[in-house]
């Protein structure tokens, strides 16, 4: 089997061949840390974490780099709004990111570089671009010269004229070309700044990823990932900077981009006011459910958001967990292990499905990481396993050996998806919910005892918004999902 990936740069699927046999260098653009991540941010985190997991499952050693943009206009503006130091605000939301990533079972990267701690690398790269004639300084600002890089536009597939007409270009009469973009920005009052050959200032957005990817992965690496919205201008500008600086092409061999999250067929974004933070969603659905939902559609396709789709994902995940639990119970139930094997035909049918699932899973994931098809194969295996378990009373040695193989495959393949199916994970979710509900019901009971009806009603009504119904009975309050 051969892995094929859709390369945005070539606009077609290509056979994946890494630079170094058995090793993969992978850079994924991380969040700008000025707020909690929303569902649109969460999709590339889950997608490329799954890509990494699959590459490791197939035997590759993956050097996975995901940055944090902790210096940016958005961070400075937000810090001014809330009266907080920009560096401290960004650091706070970096920590919040790790909480959200953990909830989604996204593994930490090999390295999480921050812009603020790589200023020397960024300044050195800008100086090299200036020396090679690809950058120029104007009164403390430094710009990249678009006309100096003849391949500009090759990732997005648009001409410079088309991009200029469609882009939101910051008006600056000092620029030599309207599309030239900032590499270094002269300090403004109240902004964080660093010393540089051009005076105090801070880097532009695009140069940051070029400098950090080059530091950790070299002039050319295997995979660059990110959301579709980053193709232009961010990734286009990364290519221009990196390849102009090193005179090496390509910067990355394969460019992978996930599709948008939409709400009522419109892209989810803060500017449209139709975004949902992951924290909001996690109040109603577990991180495993959100991850399952994000992987239920091919990563390059748009994914429309609404609660009904998350509810469907919740039910689907529960079916898989139930199937895995029944399998575990059968393996632990000594009373069922009678020593009498099932008819060979039953065992062969399950064995065939087990083999087919393993092979088809590899085939699905080798076809540009088709997680939607890969997940459906787990349902097929669960269904055949359940049929086998209900096909008789006892289990013999050959039956048990096959079931252990099936259980191992369930765990391996769900692990590639980053989804935990074990009884322990299910019980942990349930026990957390039960504990929190007991606490809330206790607080509500205390409020009612003190005749603090406002607090009691606030707890009841708040839970109702989360589809949890409180029922007051003679034996005390009890709850159920609405």
Annotated binding site for ATP: 270
* Residue closest to 149 by CA, chosen among 240, 242, 245, 247: 240
Give, in order, the Cα–Cα distances in Å from 302 to each of 266, 294, 295, 296: 10, 10, 12, 11
Task: Give the Cα separation of 265 and 352 in Å (integer).
Answer: 41
CB of 304 closer than 8 Å to CB of 259: no
What stretch of H or E contains 263?
A: strand 261-263
In this structure, are strands 135-138 and 141-144 parallel, antiparallel, or unpaired?
antiparallel
3-state secondary structure 16-32: CCCCECCEEEEEECCCE
Torsion of CA 290, 293, 299, 300, to 10 degrees: -110
Beta bridge partners of 68: 114
Binding residue positions for Zn(2+): 29, 209, 234, 238
Interhelix angle for 287-295 vs 86-103, to 10°?
Answer: 80
SS3 172: coil
CB of 238 closer than 8 Å to CB of 181: no
DSSP code for 297:
S
Binding residue positions: 29, 209, 234, 238, 270
* Residue closest to 392 by CA, chosen among 347, 352, 351, 334: 347
Beta strands in 279-410 (DSSP E): 303-304
The encoded tokens of residue 465 equal 């918004």
* Residue closest to 37 by CA, chosen among 63, 64, 68, 65: 68
Task: Give the Cα separation of 187 and 17 in Å (integer).
Answer: 44
CB of 240 closer than 8 Å to CB of 249: no
How many angstroms separate the most distant Cα atoms in the chain? Answer: 86
Q: What is the CA radius of gyration of the chain?
A: 27
Task: Give the Cα separation of 182 and 171 in Å (integer).
Answer: 12
Q: Which residue has the tokens 């300090």?
A: 187
**For 89, left (φ over 0), alpha (ψ -120 to 50), or beta?**
alpha
* Residue closest to 429 by CA, chosen among 348, 321, 345: 321
């Amino acid at each position: 089997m051969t892995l094929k990936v859709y390369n945005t740069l070539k606009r077609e699927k290509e056979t994946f061949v890494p630079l170094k046999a058995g090793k993969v260098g992978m850079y994924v653009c991380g969040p700008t840390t000025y707020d909690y991540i929303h569902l649109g941010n969460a999709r590339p985190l889950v997608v490329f974490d799954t890509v990494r997991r699959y590459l490791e499952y197939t035997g590759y050693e993956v050097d996975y780099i995901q940055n944090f943009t902790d210096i940016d206009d958005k961070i400075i503006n937000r810090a001014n709004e809330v009266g907080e130091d920009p560096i401290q605000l960004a650091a706070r939301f970096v920590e919040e990111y790790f909480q959200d990533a953990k909830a989604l079972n996204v593994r930490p990267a090999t390295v999480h570089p921050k812009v603020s701690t790589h200023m020397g690398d960024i300044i050195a790269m800008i100086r090299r671009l200036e020396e090679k004639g690809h950058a120029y300084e104007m009164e403390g600002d430094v710009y990249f010269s678009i006309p100096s890089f003849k391949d500009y536009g090759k990732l997005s597939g648009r001409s410079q004229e088309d991009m200029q007409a469609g882009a939101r270009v910051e008006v600056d009469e000092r620029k030599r070309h309207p599309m030239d973009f900032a590499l270094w920005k002269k300090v403004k009052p109240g902004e964080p700044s660093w010393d540089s050959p051009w005076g105090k200032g801070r880097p532009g957005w695009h140069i940051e990823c070029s400098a950090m990817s080059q530091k950790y992965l070299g002039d050319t690496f295997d995979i660059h990932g990110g959301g579709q919205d980053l193709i232009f201008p961010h990734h286009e500008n990364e290519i221009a900077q990196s390849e102009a600086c090193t005179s090496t092409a390509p910067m990355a061999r394969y460019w992978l981009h996930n599709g948008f999250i939409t709400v009522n067929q419109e892209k989810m974004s803060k500017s449209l006011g139709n975004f949902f933070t992951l924290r909001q969603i996690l109040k109603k659905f577990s991180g495993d459910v959100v991850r399952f939902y994000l992987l239920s559609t091919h990563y390059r396709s748009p994914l429309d958001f609404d609660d009904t789709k998350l509810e469907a994902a919740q039910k689907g995940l529960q079916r898989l967990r139930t199937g895995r639990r029944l399998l575990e119970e059968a393996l632990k139930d000594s009373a069922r292990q009678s020593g009498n094997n099932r008819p060979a035909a039953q065992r062969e049918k399950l064995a065939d499905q087990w083999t087919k699932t393993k092979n088809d899973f590899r085939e699905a994931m080798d076809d540009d990481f088709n997680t939607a098809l890969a997940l459906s194969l787990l349902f097929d295996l669960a269904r055949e396993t359940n049929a086998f378990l209900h096909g008789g009373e006892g289990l013999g040695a050959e039956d048990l050996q096959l079931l252990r193989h099936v259980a191992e495959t369930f765990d391996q393949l769900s692990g590639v998806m980053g989804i935990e199916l074990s009884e322990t994970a299910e019980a942990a979710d349930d026990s957390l919910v039960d504990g929190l509900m007991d606490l809330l019901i206790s607080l509500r009971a205390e409020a009612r005892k003190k005749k603090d009806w406002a607090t009691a009603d606030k707890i009841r009504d708040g839970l109702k918004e989360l589809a949890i119904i409180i029922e007051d009975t003679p034996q005390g309050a009890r709850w159920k999902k609405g």
